[in-house]
A and B are shown apart, each in its own frame.
Chain A
Amino acid sequence: MKEFSVFDIIGPRMVGPSSSHTAGAVRIGLVANKLLNGERPKQVHLTLYGSFAETGFGHGTDRALLAGVLGVEPDDSRVRFSMLLARSENIWVEIKKGADEADHPNTARIYVLTETGREFTVVGESVGGGNIEIVEINGMQVSFTGDYPTLIAFYTDVPGVISKVTAILAKEHINVAFMKVFRSAKRSGACMVIETDAPVPHESIAHIQSEVDGIEEICTV
């Protein structure tokens, strides 16, 4: 039987109306915000699937996703004003309902074009109670919850990359909670998702980038 914290019952503090359709949506957006790596977004396209598409307008799911992309947290009263925030920063926002049926009821796809012309997409599911699962980044199938500091590295699938990355983390005394690797035939590349107990410092990320051959892109969420 799961041990509940009292704050699972009395909490979280959040902007309503729904933990799955609003708070969870903000959290999916926040993953996209982290992938910005401090850059400013120029365009944000949101696609809502399943029950997000059906009842998302009434739950403010669109505004919640956008708020997250802009770095606004689930308990911040500015969530409902995210469209105004985006407009004041000259960010182009497009919202549409997905035509195809997503596998899961509460799913959103976020496409971001940054000021420097970099593009990325994140697909996330809201799985209930404000909890989320990120299922796709840049076309690569992944799986993580955002509950832990998460390191995501795209790399060429050759022997030795994983052990070099984990060796650098070990040297910094960063404990790995969960680790998964994914491979996509389409990109002929691979992706590792490492969820850690403590956040990975910028220096370690720089080490991984400079010392490990085959790392194409690395970011933290």
Chain B
Amino acid sequence: MKYAFSTGDELRALCEAEGLTIAEVMIRHQLELDERTRDEIVNEMFENLMTMQRSISIGFDENQETMTGNAGDNAEKLLAFAENANMGYDMARICAAALAVTEVNASMGKIVAAPTAGSSGVLPAVLIMCSEKRGFTDMDLVNGLFAAGAVGIIIAKNASISGAAGGCQAEIGSASAMAAAALAELCGASPKAALDAAAIALKNILGLVCDPVAGLVECPCIKRNAMGAANAVLCADMALAGIASIIPFDEVVVAMKNVGRMMSSDLRETAKGGLAVTPTGLEIAKRINLEG
């Protein structure tokens, strides 16, 4: 397979050899794996994009009733506050969109796992909300999703994208790295700079544990999606400004894997450590179990 890649270096070499974007290499590799035509593959991704767009608008429009009842209207609150936000109007809307998607997910609404359901807010928020300002077309956004997928594949192959295996750094960290690279590439970054954006994003979230209250994809997952989105935008901008990652992407991925291995299983999705075992976390868990 001519366009197969397992590392960031391999991906970059494929891009540079033919002057291709990360998205284009991903599409060509998918054609090698998939029996479908290019149009069918692109349409499949377009279907994902439309589901993402819908999940943002549903999360903005309707008050979501999540399982614990502890979240559901955070997206609307932040959206309404965007004009006054210290982080600026655009960033507040991006973070609100990440809350929106994850609140839809927490209330059994339809989302696209990217790479997981628990981290599904980061990528759509970053790409779709930036498209308003940057004028990305739907086709640009579809390409962004392919570029993000390429980064996710490298992380999945060399580390993990599962909270049970690697903690939150493997879920929100991966989503943030994927979104950072995709946004950077859509804004014209070279493959090297896009991978630098991914490396910085993953470095910033390195070591984050997975400690869901009551074992549910709700607290702290929803707010961590907003953080992951903000981090992705920050890291894309740093890379676009010409800031490089001192530790190369591939080495960061291996570091993330090793940190995950050092993490106690109590901090990997089992709800036996961190926020899950705080007095408030335990009280919420007890209440939900009584209801169930």
Contacts and interface: CB of A to CB of B under 8 A. Distances in A.
A139 interface: no
B115 A9 contact: yes
B153 A4 contact: yes
Nearest to A74: B110
Contacts of A16: 104-111, 117, 120, 217
A182 to B, nearest CB: 30
Given A6-B153, A9-B153, A9-B161, A17 B47 contact: no
Contacts of B156: 4, 8-9
B61 to A, nearest CB: 14
A54 B215 CA distance: 9
Contacts of A13: 47-48, 51, 110-112
Interface residues of B, number: 55
A12 interface: yes
Interface residues of A, number: 36
B164 interface: yes
B291 interface: yes
Interface of A: 1-19, 22-23, 51, 54-60, 63, 75, 77, 79-80, 128-129
Interface of B: 1, 4, 6, 26, 29-30, 33-34, 44-45, 47-48, 51, 67-68, 104-118, 120, 123, 145-146, 148-150, 152-153, 156-157, 161-162, 164, 178, 214-218, 271, 288-289, 291-292
Closest 4 CB pairs of A and B: A57-B292, A16-B105, A9-B152, A80-B108
10 contacts: A7-B44, A9-B161, A10-B123, A10-B146, A14-B113, A16-B107, A17-B216, A55-B216, A63-B108, A79-B108
